[in-house]
Structure 1
Amino acid sequence: MADIRTLAFEIGTEEIPAFDLKRATEQLAELVPASLDAVRIPHGEVAIYTSPRRLIAVVADVAVETEALEEVFRGPAAKIAFDEAGNPTKAAIGFARGKGLDVDALERRDENGTEYVYAVRSVAAQSVAALLPEVLRGIIDGISWPKSCRWGTTREMFSRPVRWLVALLGDEVIPVQYAGLVAGNTTRGHRFLAPGPHTVSCADDLVSVVEGAYVVPTQAAREARIRAGVAAAEAATGYAAELPAKTLTEVINLSEYPTVMVGTFDEEFLKVPEEIIVDAMLMHQRYFPLYDGGKLTNKFIIVSNGDPAHEATIVDGNERVVAARLYDAKFFYEEDLKQPLEAYVSRLDEVVFQETLGTMRDKTERVVKLSARLVAQAGLAPEEMHDIARAAYLAKADLVTGAVVEFTSVQGIMGSYYATASGEPERVARAIAEHYRPRFSGDAIPADVVGQVVALADKLDTICGLFAVGASPTGSSDPFALRRAALGVLAILETGIGINLVEAIDGALIIYREAGLEFDNAVVRREIIDFFITREKVVLRDGGVKADTIDAVLASRIEEPMVLAARARALEAARTEQPDTFADLAIAFARANNLRDQKLGCGYKVADLSEVECALSEAIVVAEEAVATALREDRFADALEALAALRAPVDRFFETTMVMDEDAAVRETRLKLLNRFANVFAHVADFGQMAKK
């Protein structure tokens, strides 16, 4: 049995940022086995352990030597490799050189009657311990970080300064060198509870030594420990905790030995809007709020990395920190209430929206104008028109309030509170709170038409303006999150609000031109429409609509995303749920499309038609009217049914009629008839795009 040992490798660092640590953990799971495989080191399972101050890879069943190997390479045919005199040609010399051999070492082998030259190279077994220093150093260099730093006098770059290295193959130290360090067999424990150093006698002991030094070395184990602590806190208080996924992930990777504790703040702070308290705790301090039947309480959960024996001191310190934040929140909130929300609108000139597009005050004026256009397009009631205009005017006002400047994630929400305190209608206040929605995929859209129109106007103003100044997304770069904004627009339009997106885009561009912005309207308009169509194609594909179905509908020159969506879904439904209907459509179109000649047009005389041709012509007329009416009324499924009804008359036509008749006049009439037949389909979809399916 081959001699095998465990390999353990630890990179000890200063605290790595939480989300960077999560990504590094995922990278190591692929990087370590790939690095070993690249130099043919036999190994077993790879286990990754990480905490904020360390990255560990433990590899089972690592052989102490690589396997000896005989490599065989086939080269050119012998008649090419050697001339008539048997001397090696440039082909043979080059082949041998490429394999690290002398040309005299090449072998000739017969292969099915043809002789080829072969290079046979023996690779001796190598000591794995000798290979590992370079391999492990490569793993360190191979980790990709969003941001790296350099420290001391070395040139190496890493997320945070590297402070120690452990590398053991069994009980043998592997002298990996990095950033002035040489790997040894001593690790470090929890910064406060068991700093160390701690000696690791062999690779199999590394994880247990780390665990014995008050380090929980996996994300899963730390999460389980935190959740157990939270459950105990809930049982003790009778309250329920809120654990948002993003904050929980961050907390899991901020502590090596997490301990859950419960803190309290003064009930006086509960007079401050709940959202700002939660923002102060979750976003700024990574505390988890506790609720009593859905109502926020004055207790909160702390996840500490300190010594549990000093819980009272830790809780007291955290309570002091949260009290300071809540004092700030209460102060700013009360100061903001001293003026009505409308008073802050004039100060929006202090906030730049975009260098060329002006301030947030300029944006507010554009959104008010665009909202009015959308209201007119949707034909909304007068009372809704008033509320929309008011909400559009006040939507950004809270950006200059003290509370939002300090706690940016509550923008819109604080504006809603201030609007209510100022006596604004409830629908206006709600629209202000919701006009940023949907903020991400799956997020709720604004609850009613007031918020929906303001949200549409706000997002469209941003998209159209940035496209007009050449700041559209490129590749993976989307610094203004325009793709997300576009998906938000499409999600709102899916409600059937009655707004035509292309008209809305035209309106937004008109407003920018009236404000003095110079741009090529036709080019920018086309880019924005294509941008939305591309987003809608993504939405449809994610919803199960096939790409060729979407392309078939787009071939009918559709620009409106909601029309594309409705038609593509109906066509996909016919394709999957009503295969007979779809077969009728596809076959009918294919038969005519194969013969039609568009240069001839469609102008035939009914008097020149035979009985079967006349029957087809009459069916086409009926279908033209039915399809036009169905499309006009957005009944795409009915349009497909009308097209499918053409299957029978066109089948009879082909069964009884020779289209390519010797008589040129007869042939031309029949081709014109087929042209007209195919044109009915052109307004619905290009079924030729789906022919292979």
Structure 2
Amino acid sequence: MSNTLPLLIELGTEELPVKALPGLADALFDGIKAGLEKRGVAVDATDARPLFTPRRLAVLLPGVSAEQPEQASEVFGPYVNIALDADGQPTKALSGFAAKADVEWTALARTTDAKGERFVHRAVKPGARTAALLPEVIAEAIAAMPIPKPMRWGDHDYAFARPVQWLVVLLGSEVVEMPLMGIKSDRMSRGHRFEHDKPVWIGAPGDYVEALAAARVLVDPQQRRARIIEQVQAAARGVGGDARITDDNLEQVVCLTEWPGAVACSFEPAFLAVPQEALIETMEINQKFFPVLRDGTLTEHFIGIANIESRDPAQVRAGYERVIRPRFADAKFFFDEDLKQGLVSMGEGLATVTYQAKLGTVADKVARVAALAETIAPMVGVEAAQARRAALLAKNDLQSRMVGEFPELQGIAGRHYALAAGEPAEIALAIDESYQPRFAGDDIALSPLGKVLAIAERLDTLAGGFAAGLKPTGNKDPFALRRNALGLARTIIESGFDLDLKSLLHSANGLVGEPGPAKKDKRDLFDAMDMRLPEIYDFILDRLRGYYADKGVSTTQFNAVAELKPASLYDFDRRIDAIGTFAALPQAATLAAANKRIANILRKAQAEDFHIPDHINRGLIEHPAEAALAEAVEAAIGDTDAALHQHDYVQVLSRLALLREHVDAFFDGVMVNAEDQAVRANRLALLQRLSQRFGAVADIAQLSA
């Protein structure tokens, strides 16, 4: 780009909301860039990205055009038959149009469209200077920002995420003068609130990052992120451990600081008797500290991040240690008191806690899950009694003081209390794993017993949710049925459990019954429950669409298997693999099209109530291509019977792919709808045999565009 200038826009504010900060910065950056481009101002955004700190949002673009390109305009006027009279002189319509365009009518051009010839005014005017456009661009970008709760300050009408304190707008080395929310733009930024609390002169946009760094502000969030990681890891190594750095905690610390500095701290080792998950939760969620672990086990060390480079780190350390101690003391108290009560005793209170108005208490849910777990366990090689015991204990920690204070520790606390109560390690682990996957991308349960509990828990949640009329609508999903459906499907598929999902849903529905005060006879109850089964099954399949899309499975491949609605989701997964392998074969497109054609032919015959026999009568075969296909189909069926029985769908489809030449020859040389009805029926039977064998794996016709 020629004739370009660097652009800097900095909006200084009071401390912005931490979680909204990255989104606000992105919105301002995108809005400024889009606003310029919409006006024809070329933008060089190479390596440019949003800049921000808790007190500022900034846009730094290395090059924008100094002005718009020439602006061409084209305004259409009246048609010639209306614009000129019989003598070729302008009518009032043409004179008025010319006057509005401020030109003589003879200077107007002519053009032709579908209705005829008409006058047109074409003009080219110089583009506006970018500096003149920026106030409007900036105002538009700010107005479009996603501010969750705009604040008002003073007696003004305007509002923003936080009160605006200063505004820098530089195009090249010149200030673009403009007012914004009571502030006039200039070139004076601000340094660190505590370390350099004074104005910072910005000579040109290219000086911005270094000028603020000299004033103890790292305006680039990537620089702050890298500095935090480096310092935290170094501090952790200094105390002989490894820092736990989660993306969420790191992001929040980045948004809380302008000049981060790590401080190594510690707490009394006695607190390590508390489940480490509770201590880690406190450090990360409440204080934004970074725990230090050694071989995966929490140590008595943690790293705090100060927003200053303190000359007296000991004082900062003492403050961090002092603020964390009461929280740890509370956690230890809750844990000790829970141990005195015991996990079994905690469960007694579940009968008084409502799970859902129509579905009874938490104790009712526990009983249903236990029955389901006991049913599922033998199917996957787990002891039924152990599954029932684990399920009966899995929700008891909901009555613990620890979970009351730290809800995120559901299951985790139960695992610790189960071990303390002398329960087998397998049961303790399963209590924890029954909640997995806890969030998108989380692992499923690892132990067989944990998998059984996770499946049983989600089956009951789905059956109960649909029975109580809690099916998600739009963004509303109060019982997290979508997440539970995907968690159920993932656990079954990724565990390789060949379970009959439809049968399990029937069992779960039977345990839930028909909630609510209305009394129905037993037949109506069973009818209502049976009607829910396909709805829940389809709901689960809908969740799998995204799951397989993330794995690169196309919509057509997914639909080809979903059309069959296999009872086993593990079997569903094997069919998905097979259809993917088949789709990559050179014969796939032709065979898919042929299957689609066959399906249409059979559908038409069925609509006519035409009887199609189950077997082929070789005595009615007339054409060589018909005979060749019949022989090839029967051979393929014989070759694939064993593979189909063993669910080796890849082998089945690979063998059927060899039929392509015979299928092509059949359709090229044979008329299916022969005049002789017996011959027609025989040919339909042949096509039906072929379609049924393909259809035993998937609806191959779905692959045909």
TM-score range, shorter chain: 0.7 to 0.9
1:467 maps to what in 2? 466
1:153 maps to what in 2? 155
1:137/1:177 contact within 8 Å kept: no
1:639 offset after TM fit, Å? 3.4
1:185 offset after TM fit, Å? 3.8
- Matches of 1:369 and 1:224 in 2, distance apart? 51
Q: Does 1:28 align with 2:36?
A: no
2:616/2:686 contact within 8 Å kept: no
SS of 1:309 mapped into structure 2: coil
2:522 maps to what in 1? none
Q: Does 1:319 align with 2:321?
A: yes
Farther off after superposition, 424-433 or 199-208: 199-208
- Matches of 2:130 and 2:627 in 1, distance apart? 85
2:209/2:218 contact within 8 Å kept: no
- Matches of 2:369 and 2:673 in 1, distance apart? 61
SS of 1:338 mapped into structure 2: helix
1:459 offset after TM fit, Å? 1.9
1:344 offset after TM fit, Å? 1.0
Paired residues, number: 686
Alpha carbons of structure 1 residues 182 and 566: separation in structure 2 relative to 1, 3 Å = same
Q: Does 1:540 align with 2:539?
A: no
- Matches of 1:649 and 1:204 in 2, distance apart? 71
Matches within 5 A, 1:499-538: 499-513=499-513, 516=516, 520-538=528-546
- Matches of 1:309 and 1:113 in 2, distance apart? 82
Query: Which ranges in structure 1 are unaligned for 5 or more consecutive residues?
Result: none
Alpha carbons of structure 1 residues 443 and 42: separation in structure 2 relative to 1, 3 Å = closer
1:214 offset after TM fit, Å? 1.2
1:236 offset after TM fit, Å? 2.7
Matches within 5 A, 1:492-503: 492-494=491-493, 495-503=495-503
Matches within 5 A, 1:398-547: 398-494=397-493, 495-513=495-513, 516=516, 520-547=528-555
Alpha carbons of structure 1 residues 433 and 594: separation in structure 2 relative to 1, 3 Å = closer
- Matches of 2:364 and 2:205 in 1, distance apart? 64
- Matches of 1:357 and 1:94 in 2, distance apart? 76
Q: How much identity, in percent, do the aligned residues show? A: 36
Alpha carbons of structure 1 residues 295 and 541: separation in structure 2 relative to 1, 3 Å = closer
1:570 offset after TM fit, Å? 0.5
- Matches of 2:375 and 2:244 in 1, distance apart? 42
1:18 maps to what in 2? 18
1:106/1:117 contact within 8 Å kept: yes
1:437 offset after TM fit, Å? 0.7
1:636 maps to what in 2? 649
1:345/1:394 contact within 8 Å kept: yes
Amino acid at match of 2:648: R
1:526 offset after TM fit, Å? 2.9
Alpha carbons of structure 1 residues 530 and 102: separation in structure 2 relative to 1, 3 Å = farther
Using the size of structure 1 for normalisation, the TM-score is: 0.87
1:127 offset after TM fit, Å? 4.3
- Matches of 1:146 and 1:433 in 2, distance apart? 36
1:71/1:121 contact within 8 Å kept: yes
Farther off after superposition, 63-72 or 390-399: 63-72
Alpha carbons of structure 1 residues 84 and 374: separation in structure 2 relative to 1, 3 Å = farther
Q: Does 1:666 align with 2:679?
A: yes
- Matches of 2:381 and 2:86 in 1, distance apart? 92
1:337 offset after TM fit, Å? 0.3
1:215 offset after TM fit, Å? 0.9
Alpha carbons of structure 1 residues 87 and 321: separation in structure 2 relative to 1, 3 Å = farther
Q: Does 1:609 align with 2:617?
A: no
Q: Residue by residue, what CA displacement relative to the aligned partner does 1:337-375 show, whole Å, maximum 9, x if unpaired? A: 002201111223565544544443332222223323333
Q: Does 1:562 align with 2:570?
A: yes
Alpha carbons of structure 1 residues 325 and 634: separation in structure 2 relative to 1, 3 Å = same
1:39 offset after TM fit, Å? 3.1
Alpha carbons of structure 1 residues 205 and 646: separation in structure 2 relative to 1, 3 Å = closer
1:406 offset after TM fit, Å? 1.5
1:218 offset after TM fit, Å? 1.0
Q: Residue by residue, what CA displacement relative to the aligned partner does 1:128-163 show, whole Å, maximum 9, x if unpaired? A: 444322322222222213444334433434333323
- Matches of 2:77 and 2:642 in 1, distance apart? 70
Amino acid at match of 2:611: G
Farther off after superposition, 386-395 or 634-643: 634-643
1:588/1:646 contact within 8 Å kept: no
1:370 maps to what in 2? 372
2:264 maps to what in 1? 262
1:24 offset after TM fit, Å? 2.3
1:288 maps to what in 2? 290
Amino acid at match of 1:454: L
Q: Residue by residue, what CA displacement relative to the aligned partner does 1:40-73 show, whole Å, maximum 9, x if unpaired? A: 4455445532111100123344555444423236
Query: Which ranges in structure 2 are unaligned for 5 or more consecutive residues?
Result: 519-524
Matches within 5 A, 1:144-293: 144-170=146-172, 172-200=174-202, 203-293=205-295
1:17/1:254 contact within 8 Å kept: no
1:575 offset after TM fit, Å? 2.5
1:571 maps to what in 2? 579
- Matches of 1:655 and 1:4 in 2, distance apart? 66
1:385 maps to what in 2? 384
- Matches of 2:656 and 2:4 in 1, distance apart? 71
1:278 offset after TM fit, Å? 1.5
Give the aligned CA root-mean-square deviation in angstroms: 3.8
Amino acid at match of 1:267: P
Q: Does 1:69 align with 2:77?
A: no
Amino acid at match of 1:544: G
1:585/1:640 contact within 8 Å kept: no
Q: Residue by residue, what CA displacement relative to the aligned partner does 1:180-218 show, whole Å, maximum 9, x if unpaired? A: 333344332222212224454555544444322211101
Farther off after superposition, 80-89 or 402-411: 80-89
SS of 1:457 mapped into structure 2: helix
- Matches of 2:590 and 2:326 in 1, distance apart? 72
Q: Residue by residue, what CA displacement relative to the aligned partner does 1:209-231 show, whole Å, maximum 9, x if unpaired? A: 43222111011110121122124
Farther off after superposition, 435-444 or 113-122: 113-122
